[in-house]
A and B are shown apart, each in its own frame.
Chain A
Amino acid sequence: MAHNFKYTVKALALCALLGFWRAPACAEPQQLTIWAMGAEGKLIRQAAEIFEKRNPGVKIVTQAIPWTGAHEKLVTAVVGDMAPDISQMGTTWMPEFRAMNALQPLNGFLPSSPLDTNDFFPGARESNLYKDQWYGLPWYVDTRVMYYRTDLAARAGYKKFPADWGGFYEFSKALKSAKDGGYAFALPTNDWQIFLMFYWQNGGELLKGAPLTAGKFEGTIDYLKRFFDESLAPLEGGNDTDQLTAFESGYFPVFISGPWMISQLEISKPQLNGRWATAPLPAGQRRASFMGGCNLVMFRSSPNKALAWKFMEFMAGPEMQAKWYAVSGDLPASRKAWNAPSLAGDSRLAPFRTELDTAKAPPQVPEWENIAGSINDAVEEAVFGRVTAGAAREKLSARIEKILAKSGRKQSAAFKLTLALLLFLLPVGAVVLYLCRGPRAAAGGKFQPIAVLFLLPAVLILAIFLFIPIVASFIASMTNWNMYGVNDWTKVVFVGLENYFGLFGDPVFLAGLRNTLVFAFIGVPVSVTLSLAMALALNAQLLRAKAFFRVAYFIPVITTMVAVAMIWRWLYNPEFGLFNLALGYVGLPAQGWLSNRVLALPSLILMAVWKGFGYNTIIFVAALQSIPDSLYESIALDGANTRQEFWYITLPMLRNTAFFVIVMTTIGYLQFFAEPYIMTGGGPLNSTMSVVLYMYQQGFKFYNLGYASAMAYILFGLIFAFASLQFRVQKKLEGNF
C-alpha cells in the first residue's frame, strides 16, 4: 500500500505543478500589444522603439506570428476574446474580421488626426473602407509586375518589354522560338490573383451589379487560353517548377511577381544580375495590377484605444512609411513617402510605382476567400477546355451568388438553447444507455474497484477535451455557424440536416471523398506491407548495427514537413527533378508529377508512404521482441524453414499488433491532409483534394464551421464503417475480441 500512496502523491504533485505554471497576467495601463506576422513581426520592434522614445511611459509588446497559422491564431484569439490591441492584417482578410465584429471602426479618430487619408493609393484605401467607415490603416503595399530576362528578350529582337496585350502575345511567340526548350511565360492555371489582373485589364468588374461582366470574362479566358494552346505556357507542370531556377535556365523567361522577388533574385541568383528587369504589366483596355500588402487594425476589445490609434497614425504617416521601407524593404502605401530618394531613384521600383496608381483590391466581401477558390476552379476548368468560357462564367456566377446568399432566418434564443440542449443530450444519453445496457457484472469475474483509479486520469481528460468537443461539433454540424456567428451567437441558427444534404451535392466534396478512398485503398496495404517487411529485415539475425538502420528508417517520420516538402518538390520538378531525369535516361517523356490530374494523387501517395512507413515499422519492431525464441527453437527442431517460421510463428504472433497497425493506418489515411495541403493545395482540378483538406478550408479559411463539422461527421461515418469491418474480420479470425 505504501507504494500505491507514493505514486498517487507523485502524480498529484505533478498535476498541481502544472496548474501553477500559468503565466501571470500583465495589465499595465500604458501598454500596447501588437501582433505582426513573420519578418515584420521581428522588424516592428524597431518602429516600436522609436514610438516608445517619443512617448515616454509607453511600453509596446510585440509578438511575431508565423504566417503559417496566422489566420487560425487570429480567429481563435477573437473567439476567445484574447485579441491584441493592434494587429497586422492581410488586405484580403479585412472583411472577414469586420464581419466577425472584431475590428474597431476608426472614423471617430480621423477628424482630429493630422493623417491625410487621400495620400494613400486608391487600392490601399479600398481595403480599409467599408460603407465610408475606416476599419484599418494601410501599412505597406505590394503589387505585381513582370519580371523578364533582358538577354533572352534581346535575342528575340525586343529591347523593350511590350506595353499591351497584343504586343505581349507576339513577344511571347518570338521569345519561345528564340530559345530551345521551355516556355515563354510562367502562367499558372489556378491563380485567381493573376487571372483577376488580366480580367480587370480587359475591363471586367467583380460584384458590381452582376457577379461577373459578361463578355469580359470570356475575352480574358480566350486571351490566356491561347498561351496554353500554343505551348507558350504549360497547361501541366507549371505550378510545381522552382521559379528562380526556371528563370535562370530560361525555361520560364517571364513571370509575374511582387516586390519581394527583387531581393530574392539578387540573393539567390547573383549570376543573373544585369540580365533581368521589371516592367509594368501589359495593358489591356486599361491598366490594372493586383493590390496586396497589409493593414494595421485595432480590435474592439482593446482597452487602450486612444494610444492604439496614436501608434497606427504614427505607422501610417509618410515619415514612418519611408523609414519602414529602409527597415524592411516593404513598399509605402503613402504616395508622399515615395518621394524619398531611395524609392524614387530605383529604376527597378519604377514599374511598381506605375502600377500602384491603378492597382485594384478584390471586393470587400467577407466570403472573398471562398469566392477566390471558386474563381480558381472555374478558370482551371475553362483553360483545360473542359467547359467553354461562357459556360464557366455562368457556372461561376451562380456559385458566387450562392456563396453570397444570406438566409434571413431567425430563431429565438430559447428555441436554440432547447435544441442545443436536446442535441447535446442525444449523444450523451445514447452513450450512457449503451454503457449501462446488458449485464451489470464485470465480464469474466468479480469487479475490481481499483480499475476506476487506473482509468480516472485518462478518461477524465478524454471526457473534457475529446468527448465534449466532439458533441459540440456534432451540434455545430446542424447549424449555419459561419463567420458572422463566430463572435456572435445570436446569428447562429439551426438548419437541421441541410449541411449534410448540401455536401452530397457539392462536387468538391465528392471529389475529395473519392480521392480519400483511393488514397486509403492504395496507401494502407502498401504502407503496412512495407512496414512489416522492413521490420522483419531490421530484426534479422544477419543485420549488424541495428540502431543505425532503425534510426535511418525512422528519420522520414521525424523530419519536419517543411524540409520534406522542399526535397520532394525538387524530386518531382518537371524541368530537372530526379524522377524526370530517370525517365529521360530510359527515353520516356517528362511528366508533371504534381500537376497532371492522373499522376498527382499517386505522387502524393508515394510521398506519404515514404514519410510514414517508419512509424509502423518501429511498432512492428517492438512487437517482434515479444515473440519468445522458444517458439522458433521448437519449430526449428521440427525441421521448419524460414518461410514456415514466418507463416506459423511470426505472423500469428504479430496478429494483435498487425490488427492495431491496420486499423490505425486506415484511420490515418482516411484523414489524409498534410501532403495535399503543403504540396498541391488540392489541385489540379481538385484531383488531390481530400475530405480533411476541404474540411479545413471550409472551416478555417471560409469559416463555414457548421458545414465543416458536417463533413467531419460524414468522414467519421466512413471511418467507423471501415473500422467496424476490420474489427469484425479480426473477431472472425480470432474469436475472442
Chain B
Amino acid sequence: MAAVKRYSPAYKAAFYAFMAVSVIITLFPFVWMLSTSFKSPGEIFTKHPTILPQLWTLAGYKNLFAAVNMWLHLCNSVIYAVSLTVLSVLFNAMAAYAFAKLRFPGREKLFALLLVTMMVPGQVTMLPVFLILKSMGLLNSYAGLILPGSAAVFAIFMIRQFMTEIPEEILEAARIDGFSEFAIFWRIMLPLCRPIIATLTVFSFIGAWNDFLWPLIIMLREDKYTLPVALASVNGQYNTDWALLMAGAVVVVVPAVIIFLMAQKHYIKGIAAGAVKG
C-alpha cells in the first residue's frame, strides 16, 4: 500500500460534505420510492409531500401480495437472471480471452465486425429474433428467453479491454508450467479479472432482472411471467395504485442491491499488480 496521506481537517470536511450532497441527490428518489410504498393513497399526490409517511400503512404490500403470486414470479425471475448471468459471463469472458490473448487469423477483423453489429439499434431485431426462436420451437421456454442475451458484444468488448492490460509474461510463465489454455483462462485470467467480472455480473443480472418487454413477448403463459411483467399486469389502463406499484419496485430493487453489494466486494486493489511482480 502507498503511504497513508495526511489531509487537513478542512479538506476532509469539504470532501465529506461533497460526498454527502451527492449521496442525497442519488438516493433521494430511492427513499421516495420506499416512503411512497408505505403511504396511504391520499398522501401520495399532494402539494407538499413529506419525506416520511404521516400515516404508515402496509396496504401497498398487502395488496401487492394479494394481487400477484410473488413466490412463483420471483422464482421465474431468479431462474432467468441467474442463468443469463452465469452463461453470459462464461461465454463473453471466453470470447474476450480469445480476442485479447489468443492468436488466430482475422482476429482484429472479427472483433471489429462484432463492434459494428453492436451499433444497430436493438429494437429492429426484436421481431426477427422472435421468428427465429419460433422456428426453433423455443417460444415459451427459458432457453428462448435466455439464449439470445447470453452473448453480448458489449460485455466481450469490456472484458477484452481489461484483459489486454494483463501482462503477457504471466501467461507465458503459466504455459511453461504446463497449463492448458482452459486452465490459464479459468485459474489465472478469471481471478485476475475479478473486478470487471464482478461488474459484468452486476450488469447482466440487473439487465435481466429489470427486463420487461422481452420476457413478456417470449412467455405465453402467465405462470412463466417474471416479476416485472407480473407487477406491470396489475395496473389498469388509467388507474394506478401507486403504493402497490412502489411496493413492487421496492421488492424488485432489493435483490438487485444485494447482488451489487456482493459483487462490489471484489473491487480489490492490487491483484493484477501483485501477480506481475510474483
Contact = CB atoms under 8 A, between A and B. Distances in A.
Given A550-B264, A622-B198, A699-B124, A442 B104 contact: yes
Contact of A461 (B106, B148, B186, B233): B148
Interface string A531-564: 0001001001111000101111111111110111
Nearest to A243: B45
A23 B221 contact: yes
A142 B19 CA distance: 51
Contacts, number: 401
Contact of B123 (A543, A547, A614, A695): A695
B162 A623 contact: yes
B118 to A, nearest CB: 7
B90 interface: yes
B104 A447 contact: yes
A564 B32 CA distance: 10
Interface in B190-231: 195-196, 198-199, 202-203, 206, 210, 212-213, 216-217, 220-222, 224, 228-229
A445 B103 contact: yes
Interface in B142-176: 142-143, 146-148, 150-151, 153-154, 156-158, 161-162, 164-165
Interface string A223-257: 00000000000000000001011001100000000
Contacts of A271: 42
B264 A18 contact: no
Interface string A255-284: 000101101100111110000000000000
B102 A454 contact: yes
Contact of B249 (A22, A446, A560): A560
Nearest to B183: A3
Kindly state the interface size class of chain A when it binds its partner.
35 or more
A73 to B, nearest CB: 6
B58 interface: no
Interface string A554-577: 111111101110111010000110
A629 B1 contact: yes
A447 B103 contact: yes
The B interface is mostly helix, strand or loop, or mixed, namely: helix
Nearest to A557: B206
A69 B4 contact: no
B5 A18 contact: no
B109 A435 contact: yes
A614 B26 contact: yes
B224 to A, nearest CB: 7
B126 to A, nearest CB: 8
Nearest to A436: B106
A468 B148 CA distance: 12
A80 B139 contact: yes
Interface string B256-275: 11001100110111111100
A735 to B, nearest CB: 14
B199 A444 contact: no
Nearest to A657: B161
A440 interface: yes
B257 A4 contact: no
B11 to A, nearest CB: 8
11 contacts: A14-B86, A41-B233, A66-B212, A67-B236, A76-B127, A80-B134, A464-B132, A553-B22, A615-B203, A659-B161, A720-B119
Given A21-B143, A62-B222, A448-B102, 7 more contacts: A23-B140, A72-B213, A264-B238, A455-B95, A461-B148, A555-B26, A712-B120
The 5 lowest CB-CB distance pairs between A and B, nearest first, are A628-B273, A66-B232, A469-B128, A469-B125, A622-B195
